[in-house]
């Protein structure tokens, strides 16, 4: 496959200088697209990172055809318009193949792909049961929070921490009408049904109990407790794929009424089901706070061409974040909320709100991401977490390449943002380096008591 030559750093530098030559404005190039200080970037690359969000895949020798890397895998949806950097033409992809597997050349043909697979197999075999840890080492990731349905041998402590999924617990009724006319949700809802059955089976139930109190006491709470004891540091909600963020605050009586009326009696009307889901969301969030787990919320436009971007404006969650009963629960906006990055900035003032910039490092350039990062770092740097969203996207880009590429961009963007702050006299060099340590490592370490 032919790839366009990427713009070199030298070319970018010249492009950025043009405004200075033609129009001597103070800001110059609005996108600071070069790392002025290679030494500073090198210092940042040496900091061991805690990756707040990723989907590591179990080694094939341990779990052949592993699908637990996501509760709602996004590889069976109708086509959408992929951003440029998520396409196989991303110039960082061949760099990842080369760095990880010593593979040079293109993989866009069946023969090329076969040679890439061979190169991967050689490394996998050589690394054996240390393969997953070796993958982390290639990006200087000390600990990865693995957002998975289950862990496995090779994806385990101490280098991996666990973030399981809680969405299924919010949908105990008949879900045959839950997807409405949304084709993506028609893919997702059966997967949530299956995960709830799995949770029910683990608790010795074939179907949810008939009373809400019993469902809470014998299914929901024990599931969360068991996951906590199994090493979970947070519960993940992919609820953004399933409904809007407009959680109300119904009473237990209202929720019990819906539960009793509709359990075993077919699909409930949307408005009635919402009452139960809203109640269960706050219940689970409260239990997470009690058990010392954070709540992770997928907050980024996509994936999927039917994703409800307007419905997941993070400001819709403000009543939940302002609920005094939930102040012990730490909420982490995974993916930094794009495109609502400024709304998230405002929400960071709440003591229990955090964000990571995973996934953004896969879909934006360092220069673009640095602008967003700098705003957060100027406001609440103690709330900003490094993350990659490493994900097995395709045959060409496994979670390994995805981690390598996201890590490269995430660290370059952080260096650019901090260099800008240092250049403009906001921080000293030592303070910039301190902030880098916070974002890459220390903020997550203290948030999860790792
Ligand atoms: Zn993810």
Q: Residue 367 Cα, ligand 1 centroid: separation in angstroms?
A: 22
Locate the domains of the chain by residue range.
48-447
Q: Residue 170 Cα, ligand 1 centroid: separation in angstroms?
A: 20
Percent of the chain with pLDDT over 90: 82
**And the tokens for 216?**
């809470």
Question: Is the pLDDT reported for residue 17 higher than 60?
Answer: no
Question: Is the pLDDT reported for residue 16 higher than 80?
Answer: no
Residue 347, phi then psi, degrees to nearest 5: -70, -20
Q: Residue 32 Cα, ligand 1 centroid: separation in angstroms?
A: 28
Mean pLDDT of the chain: 91
Report the pLDDT value the prediction gives residue 407, as an integer from 0 to 100: 98
Report the pLDDT value the prediction gives residue 34, as an integer from 0 to 100: 52
Q: Residue 239 Cα, ligand 1 centroid: separation in angstroms?
A: 13
The answer, as to whether pTM is greater than 0.95, is: no
The answer to whether residues 376 and 351 touch, using CB atoms and an 8 Å cutoff, is: no
Report the pLDDT value the prediction gives residue 326, as an integer from 0 to 100: 98
Q: Residue 99 Cα, ligand 1 centroid: separation in angstroms?
A: 23
Report the pLDDT value the prediction gives residue 359, as an integer from 0 to 100: 93
Q: Residue 389 Cα, ligand 1 centroid: separation in angstroms?
A: 5
At 176-201, the pLDDT tens digits run 999 999 999 999 999 999 999 999 99
Question: Is the pLDDT reported for residue 10 higher than 60?
Answer: no
Q: Residue 188 Cα, ligand 1 centroid: separation in angstroms?
A: 15
Q: Residue 304 Cα, ligand 1 centroid: separation in angstroms?
A: 13
**And the tokens for 426?**
């906001």
Q: Residue 104 Cα, ligand 1 centroid: separation in angstroms?
A: 28
State the first-to-last Cα distance of the chain, in angstroms, to the nearest integer: 43
Question: Is the pLDDT reported for residue 86 higher than 90?
Answer: no
Q: Residue 311 Cα, ligand 1 centroid: separation in angstroms?
A: 19
Largest CA distance in the chain: 74
Q: Does the domain made of 48-447 have the CATH classification 3.60.10.10?
A: no
Q: Residue 138 Cα, ligand 1 centroid: separation in angstroms?
A: 20
Q: Residue 320 Cα, ligand 1 centroid: separation in angstroms?
A: 22
Q: Residue 130 Cα, ligand 1 centroid: separation in angstroms?
A: 23
Q: Residue 147 Cα, ligand 1 centroid: separation in angstroms?
A: 7
Q: Residue 89 Cα, ligand 1 centroid: separation in angstroms?
A: 22
Q: How far is CA 137 from the centre of its chain?
A: 20
Report the pLDDT value the prediction gives residue 83, as an integer from 0 to 100: 85
Q: Residue 78 Cα, ligand 1 centroid: separation in angstroms?
A: 19
Q: Residue 334 Cα, ligand 1 centroid: separation in angstroms?
A: 8
Q: Residue 305 Cα, ligand 1 centroid: separation in angstroms?
A: 17
At 93-124, the pLDDT tens digits run 999 999 999 999 888 899 999 999 999 999 99
Question: Is the pLDDT reported for residue 24 higher than 80?
Answer: no
The H or E element that residue 334 is part of is strand 331-334
At 34-58, the pLDDT tens digits run 546 899 999 999 999 999 999 999 9
Question: Is the pLDDT reported for residue 378 higher than 70?
Answer: yes
Question: Is the pLDDT reported for residue 259 higher than 70?
Answer: yes
Q: What is the residue-wise DSSP string for 43-89? A: HHHTS-EEEEEE-----TTTSTT--TT-SS-SSSSPP----GGGSTT
Mean pLDDT of all residues in 236-253: 96
Q: Residue 51 Cα, ligand 1 centroid: separation in angstroms?
A: 11
Report the pLDDT value the prediction gives residue 37, as an integer from 0 to 100: 81
Question: Is the pLDDT reported for residue 248 higher than 60?
Answer: yes
Q: Residue 55 Cα, ligand 1 centroid: separation in angstroms?
A: 6
Q: What band does 85 get if pLDDT is binned at 50, 70 and 90?
A: confident
Q: Which of 2-11, 159-168, 195-204, 347-356 has the lowest mean pLDDT?
A: 2-11
At 211-222, the pLDDT tens digits run 999 999 999 999
Q: What band does 373 get if pLDDT is binned at 50, 70 and 90?
A: very high
Question: Is the pLDDT reported for residue 11 higher than 80?
Answer: no
Q: Residue 262 Cα, ligand 1 centroid: separation in angstroms?
A: 33
Question: Is the pLDDT reported for residue 275 higher than 90?
Answer: yes
Q: Residue 292 Cα, ligand 1 centroid: separation in angstroms?
A: 22
Q: What band does 305 get if pLDDT is binned at 50, 70 and 90?
A: confident
Report the pLDDT value the prediction gives residue 14, as an integer from 0 to 100: 36
At 219-234, the pLDDT tens digits run 999 999 999 999 999 9
Burial of 368 (0-12, 13-18, 19+ CB in 10 A): middle
Report the pLDDT value the prediction gives residue 121, as an integer from 0 to 100: 95
Percent of the chain with pLDDT over 70: 92
């Amino acid at each position: 496959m032919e790839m366009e030559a990427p713009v070199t750093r030298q070319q970018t530098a010249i492009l950025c200088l043009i405004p200075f030559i033609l129009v001597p404005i103070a800001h110059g190039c609005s996108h600071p697209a070069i790392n002025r200080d290679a030494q500073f970037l090198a210092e940042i690359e040496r900091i061991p990172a805690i990756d707040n969000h990723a989907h590591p895949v179990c080694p094939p020798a341990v779990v052949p055809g592993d699908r637990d890397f996501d509760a709602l895998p996004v590889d069976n949806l109708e086509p959408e318009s992929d951003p440029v950097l998520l396409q196989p033409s991303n110039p960082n992809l061949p760099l990842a193949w080369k760095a990880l597997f010593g593979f040079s050349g293109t993989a866009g043909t069946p023969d090329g792909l076969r040679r890439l697979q061979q190169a991967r197999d050689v490394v996998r075999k050589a690394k054996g049961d240390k393969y997953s840890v070796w993958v982390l080492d290639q990006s200087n990731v000390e600990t990865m929070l693995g957002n998975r349905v289950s862990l496995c041998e090779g994806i385990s402590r101490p280098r991996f921490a666990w973030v399981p999924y809680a969405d299924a617990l919010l949908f105990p009724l008949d879900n045959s009408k839950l997807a409405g006319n949304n084709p993506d949700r028609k893919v997702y809802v059966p997967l949530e049904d299956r995960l709830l059955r799995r949770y029910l089976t683990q608790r010795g139930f074939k179907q949810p109990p008939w009373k809400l109190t019993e469902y809470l006491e014998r299914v929901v709470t024990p599931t969360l407790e068991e996951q906590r004891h199994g090493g979970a540091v947070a519960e993940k909600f992919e609820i953004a794929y399933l409904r809007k963020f407009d959680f109300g605050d119904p009473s237990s009586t209202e929720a019990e009424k819906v539960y009793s009326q509709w359990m075993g009696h077919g699909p409930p009307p949307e408005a009635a089901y919402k009452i139960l889901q809203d109640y269960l969301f706050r219940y689970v969030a409260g239990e997470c706070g009690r058990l010392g787990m954070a709540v992770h919320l997928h907050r980024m436009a996509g994936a999927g061409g039917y994703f409800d971007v307007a419905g997941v404006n993070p400001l819709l969650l403000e009543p939940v974040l302002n609920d005094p009963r939930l102040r012990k629960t730490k909420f982490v906006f995974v993916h930094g909320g794009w495109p609502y990055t400024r709304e998230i900035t405002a929400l960071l003032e709440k003591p229990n709100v955090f964000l990571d910039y995973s996934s953004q490092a896969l879909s934006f350039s360092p220069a673009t991401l640095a602008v967003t990062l700098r705003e957060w770092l100027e406001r609440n740097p103690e709330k900003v977490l490094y993350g990659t969203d490493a994900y097995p996207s395709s045959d060409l880009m496994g979670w390994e390449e995805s981690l390598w590429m996201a890590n490269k961009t995430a660290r370059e963007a952080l260096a650019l943002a901090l260099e800008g702050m240092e250049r403009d006299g906001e921080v000293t060099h030592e303070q910039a380096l301190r902030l880098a340590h916070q974002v890459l490592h220390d903020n997550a370490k203290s948030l999860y008591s790792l």
